[in-house]
Amino acid sequence: MNLTARALARRCSVLLALAVLTAFLLAPAITEGQGQTHLLKASPQTVHWGHFWAALKPVLTINSGDTVTIETVTGGPGNWPGVPLDKLPPELPQIWREVKDIGPGPHILTGPVSINGAEPGDVLEVRILDVQLRSPVAFNIIRPPLGVLPEEFPYYKAWILPIDLQKKTSEVLPGVVVPLRPFFGTMGVAPPPASGRISSGPPGLQTGNLDNKHLTAGTTLYMPVHVRGALFSAGDGHAAQGNGEVNLTAIETNMTGTFQIIVRKGKRLRWPRAETPTHYITMGLDVDLNKAAEMAVRETILFLQEEKGLSREDAYMLTSVAIDLEVTQLVDGVKGVHAMIPKAIFTRR
């Protein structure tokens, strides 16, 4: 090959490389905002009642970045004493009649949703875009021997509460009006296959029944993935709840949530984390409240090391001077403590 031919070949190679690079740069990116939108209605065929389980078959399959609106219902027949059926979603009585595979926990969960590409070791990012109330009525129940003070309240009592869907309030007693900040008490994925079928009651590796009042619209929940597809489910609608959820229940009602679900590769978690517009949230879970608090502190230290580049000692000290620990709930068998890390304290972007 003479010099002219070699030069021409080199020029063609350069032009081809530039053309490929230009095509790559100009191609439309498959961004998180360009996914499809799905609707998953609650029905006897699309709910599982009282458990998480890696063996559950998905009722919907989506891609990472897709958005899904999920309708949920809550409570068995005994939770709605005296409530006319026309006040409840029509599918709820049908679920009561037709779903026979119940337990060992109490929650009716819509799902699971399989996310293409999710593998064990990944992180599932669930952006809670919207939470809407479905019913003009809710309940709160004392149910012994559960709750923080079962010996002092050894009897059953139910509040059936009105929901003002316009004002987003509930008058729980004459002259006592509670503002509503709806969230899902339970959002989770399948546990590791070796765990078998586990109760929806205690939170754990599946995330599940966190009962964290801060997981409202605008918040993002991060969960470790244990099985292919992740198998995400949601339910246990709470119109409002105090930290602690001391008598066992919140203002429990039927809700619809809209979620954008994203698979994160190369970002490993052992326990769930969350992010609100103003705070990062780390969590501790244990049957012992002190150990749950210790776990929340360790998770906070780890977060500050990984995400903010702090030394372990500095992270521990910062946690003491600027970060609030809150009791999430005391009534789910496994207790919860979460740490509220204010974003405003970090002045370097």
- Same domain, yes or no, for 156 and 132? yes
**Residue 223 belongs to a domain:** yes
Q: pLDDT, tens digit, for every residue of 64-88?
A: 999 999 999 999 999 999 999 999 9
**Residue 126 belongs to a domain:** yes
Q: Is the pLDDT of residue 17 over 50?
A: no
Number of H helices, E strands in the chain: 4, 22
- Same domain, yes or no, for 211 and 293? no
- Give me 271's structure tokens: 């326990």
Last residue of a domain, one of 209, 232, 266: 266
Is the distance from CB of 140 to CB of 249 less than 8 angstroms?
Answer: yes
Q: Structurally, how many domains does the chain consist of?
A: 2
**Residue 297 belongs to a domain:** yes
Is the distance from CB of 227 to CB of 192 less than 8 angstroms?
Answer: yes
What is residue 34's predicted lDDT score, i.e. its pLDDT?
66
**Residue 167 belongs to a domain:** yes
- Same domain, yes or no, for 303 and 210? no
Q: Is the pLDDT of residue 29 over 90?
A: no
Average pLDDT, the chain: 93
The rounded distance, in Å, linking the Cα atoms of 197 and 55 is: 8
- Among residues 273, 255, 248, 129, the alpha carbon closest in space to that of 180 is found at 255
Q: pLDDT, tens digit, for every residue of 88-124?
A: 999 999 999 999 999 999 999 999 999 999 999 999 9
Residue the block writes with tokens 């740490």: 339
Q: Is the pLDDT of residue 1 over 60?
A: no
What is residue 32's predicted lDDT score, i.e. its pLDDT?
53
**Residue 274 belongs to a domain:** no
**Residue 318 belongs to a domain:** yes
Q: Is the pLDDT of residue 28 over 90?
A: no
**Residue 25 belongs to a domain:** no
Is the distance from CB of 71 to CB of 256 less than 8 angstroms?
Answer: yes
The rounded distance, in Å, linking the Cα atoms of 323 and 345 is: 10
In the predicted model, what is the mean pLDDT of residues 199-228? Answer: 99
- Among residues 126, 82, 58, 93, the alpha carbon closest in space to that of 263 is found at 126
Q: What is the CATH number of the domain that holds 287?
A: 3.10.28.20
Q: pLDDT, tens digit, for every residue of 132-184?
A: 999 999 999 999 999 999 999 999 999 999 999 999 999 999 999 999 999 99
- Same domain, yes or no, for 189 and 314? no
pLDDT category of residue 348 using cuts at 50, 70 and 90: confident
Q: Is the pLDDT of residue 15 over 80?
A: no
195 CB-contact burial (10 Å; exposed 0-12 / middle 13-18 / buried 19+): middle
Q: What is the CATH number of the domain that holds 220?
A: 2.60.120.580
Structural domain boundaries, residue 105: 32-266
- Same domain, yes or no, for 159 and 225? yes
What is residue 124's predicted lDDT score, i.e. its pLDDT?
99
Q: pLDDT, tens digit, for every residue of 216-231?
A: 999 999 999 999 999 9
Residues contacting residue 237 through CB under 8 Å, at least 6 positions apart: 72, 74, 133, 134, 182, 184, 185, 252, 253, 254, 255
- Among residues 71, 69, 66, 67, the alpha carbon closest in space to that of 41 is found at 71
> Any alpha helices (H) in 40-136, and if so which ranges?
91-98
Q: pLDDT, tens digit, for every residue of 272-325?
A: 999 999 999 999 999 999 999 999 999 999 999 999 999 999 999 999 999 999
- Among residues 342, 307, 346, 303, the alpha carbon closest in space to that of 322 is found at 342
